[in-house]
Structure 1
């Protein structure tokens, strides 16, 4: 009788232990599902916040924040914010990630170009020194004789004051780089043409026998130092 009682207690304890084990497993699964749901909800809320932010800026009609590419864009943004010591804003990085993916342009090339053009400040209000062609304006340093037709190509409105809008500057720089890369098929030509103009590119080639300007080399070398993501048109 005593042996039967002991066996019964052992079986009962085994049952309770097994029950608690599976209940704990179910609880862990529920917690993970809850965390995943909360993360997805936060992502959706973040996207809505970003969409509201972008609604206040001129954005090409065919561009929109994409849920599937959001993770890549946010990772990129965090990386660029850290690299720039907070000078390059998170919302700029997310937008750059989205438009770079949609236009198939290396975002690190764009980021390094904007760094050089602003002297490392990423100041959207910067005005370049006066040249015989006039001043260059904004983070991407476009001149008033070039920006309007690039804006038209990007299906964007144009006003001089928009050159100081960071989101607008990023769009113009990506569209122009995409256009130049389609023309030349390599970054040396593309970046030297961006810096010197199409006529200046040809002059540089005539004088040097190549298009590998210091400007083009620096941007590409700096862009290659990033290893989180890889883009190549």
Structure 2
């Protein structure tokens, strides 16, 4: 009888130990989930703050008008893009890009090269990118539907999915995003790598490689510098 009681006691003890172990693990899992939520919330708050600051800064953005003095400059720079693309990047798009880029103080060839890479050198405004775990990317600037809306909001632009296939809208959105990213990082390596991989993807890339000098960023900057040799007065 005493042995039976001992066995029962042992079984009960094991049950209690197992239950305690499960509770401890459950508690640890909950704590890890809470920590993850806290980190994500902090990142989201930082993003909201940076977006608000960007919107505030845009209030002081200069407006550029086409005049008899500025038109030849825009036209000549645009012609370099049209010729280099064998006419795939249409002249009206190029002139629009050059004008808007100067408004943001961005080298237009940086964005031109970005659009060139994003579309595989064909500048197709109706391009739909390959499917990823985050969905497809759309248009000339290859924005995803989870990214484009908040960039449009930040730029005080309307948003509809169909607008991503409008070349002028796509160019404008890419300029706004590049300008926003450059304001965050203050260098082209991080700016362009973040455009390509996302801001979280940039941090992962830096952790893995120790730098932000991705092949994507290097290619864009190298080619943009090459075009400046043709047009010395590019903004």
- TM-score (norm. length: structure 2): 0.70
Aligned partner of 1:119 in structure 2 is: 120
Which residue of 1 is the match for residue 207 of structure 2? Answer: 206
Supply the RMSD in Å over aligned alpha carbons: 1.4
Aligned residues: 171
1:190 corresponds to which residue? 191
The list of structure 1 runs, each at least 4 consecutive aligned residues, that deviate by more than 6 angstroms after superposition, is: none
Q: What CA distance in whole angstroms lies between the structure 1 residues aligned with 2:63 and 2:139? A: 21
The answer for unaligned runs of 5 or more in structure 1 is 1-61
Instruction: Report 1:123-134 matches (<5 A).
Output: 123-134=124-135
- Superposed displacement of residue 210, structure 1: 0.2
Q: Whole-Å Cα distance in 2 between the matches of residues 208 and 231 of structure 1?
A: 33
1:231 CA drift (Å):
5.1
Counterpart Cα distance in 1 of 2:181 and 2:109: 17
Structure 2 equivalent of residue 72 of structure 1: 73
Q: How much does 1:63 deviate? A: 6.0
Tell me, in whole angstroms, the C-alpha distance in 1 between the residues paired with 2:65 and 2:89: 19
Helix, strand or coil: the match of 1:225? helix
User: In structure 1, what is the Cα distance between the partners aligned to 2:145 and 2:232?
Assistant: 34
Would the alpha carbon gap of residues 97 and 129 (structure 1) be closer, same or farther in structure 2, given more than 3 Å must change? same
TM-score, L = length of structure 1: 0.71
Structure 1 residues 144 and 116 mapped into 2: Cα distance closer, same or farther (>3 Å)? same
Q: Deviations over 1:129-152 (max 9, x none)?
A: 001110000000000010011111
